[in-house]
Homo-oligomer: A and B are copies of this chain.
């Protein structure tokens, strides 16, 4: 299936790109993995850690011999990277990305590669940790995790198949869906929770008794706020890239909080039980998946 894949170029060798490179190496998916990025020290570290076989700081040079180029950079850097590699790509090279919002990346790709380019396969691995950087990368990050591909209708079927094969080689389950649908679903399950967790920690951090408050926090708080340790730049980018869907979800959530506040204000225990029971039932079902 993957016969013919000699070189994969990974632009951005952080947690996401680095872990993919490690997994592809382990699977023997290709002959060579070239890393690229802005910071030479990071790329040297990536070679040293065995994450990539070699590196280039010039994105065009890195991409020119690649069969597949994986762009795993923050969303705000996508367009610039696409523009740099566009002139260097071979006539059969496939480009994919790992961004957490998909409509914005597809727009960036169209601007950089042109509307007629049919080898850009937008993708998003539903995996990660609150850590970042090449030292956080590990081979098993994608094992049994979902990867969502959101190619537009005009994308070459073989290109989609090859990108799907690549993620499967890294251990992932691959699904395909419409980019707009992806962005709405992820706004709910990932983007909103991150925003809420950042917001909670910032809110508590502004209180006078902040030291006391964190000192008496227990396991529930620890788990609830773990994602507030995520990379602020990455999350700013996600918020701006998927702004409309996130705002829709935030408005829904504000309405939910208003309902809970009203129940509290009117001491309506039955209303609270209803909300908490529905939530517990849904969460318990999710647990049993």
- Would you list which residues of chain A between 252 and 268 have a CB under 8 Å from chain B? 252-257, 260-261, 264-265, 267
- Would you list which residues of chain A between 131 and 150 have a CB under 8 Å from chain B? 145-146, 148
A26 to chain B, nearest CB (A): 21
CA distance A193 to B278 in the complex (A): 17
Q: Is the pair A202, B275 in contact by a Cβ cutoff of 8 Å?
A: yes
Which one of A216, A243, A256 has the highest number of Cβ atoms from chain B below 10 Å of its Cβ?
A216
Which one of A224, A267, A278 has the highest number of Cβ atoms from chain B below 10 Å of its Cβ?
A224
- B-side contacts of A190, CB under 8 Å: 217-218, 220-221
Q: Is the pair A256, B203 in contact by a Cβ cutoff of 8 Å?
A: yes
- B-side contacts of A126, CB under 8 Å: 216, 218
Tell me the A residues contacting B by CB distance below 8 Å.
126-130, 145-146, 148, 181, 184-186, 188-190, 192-207, 209-210, 212-233, 235-236, 239-240, 243, 246-247, 250-257, 260-261, 264-265, 267, 269, 272-273, 275-280, 282-287, 289
Further 18 A-B residue pairs, CB within 8 A, beyond A236-B269, A240-B264, A247-B265: A128-B220, A184-B209, A185-B212, A189-B218, A190-B218, A190-B221, A196-B224, A198-B279, A199-B260, A200-B256, A201-B280, A214-B282, A231-B280, A232-B273, A232-B276, A251-B261, A253-B257, A254-B261
- 17 contacts across the A-B interface (CB closer than 8 A): A181-B209, A188-B213, A189-B213, A193-B225, A195-B260, A196-B224, A198-B280, A200-B279, A202-B256, A204-B282, A206-B252, A207-B252, A223-B226, A232-B276, A236-B269, A247-B264, A251-B261
9 interchain residue pairs of minimum CB distance: A232-B276, A201-B279, A205-B282, A189-B217, A203-B256, A198-B279, A202-B279, A228-B283, A223-B223
